[in-house]
Amino acid sequence: MPIVVIAGQSKESAAKWLDKNPMPFPFLIDSDRSVIKQFDVYNAISIDAFRLAHPSLFLIDGDGKIVYSYVSSNQFDRPTENSTFEKVHELLGSSQE
Splitting the chain (97 residues) into consecutive groups of 10 residues, what average pLDDT does each group show?
Answer: 80 91 87 88 65 79 87 83 89 69
pLDDT at position 33: 87
β-partners of residue 66 are 60
Residue range(s) defining the domain that contains residue 44? 5-95
What is the rounded distance in angstroms from the CA atom of residue 89 to the CA atom of residue 82?
A: 10
Helix (H, G, I), strand (E, B) or coil at 34: helix
**Domains in the chain: how many in total?**
1
pLDDT at position 94: 67
Domain of residue 30, CATH code: 3.40.30.10
pLDDT at position 20: 94
Phi, psi of 56 (to 5 degrees): -145, 155
What's this model's pTM, rounded to 2 decimal places? 0.68
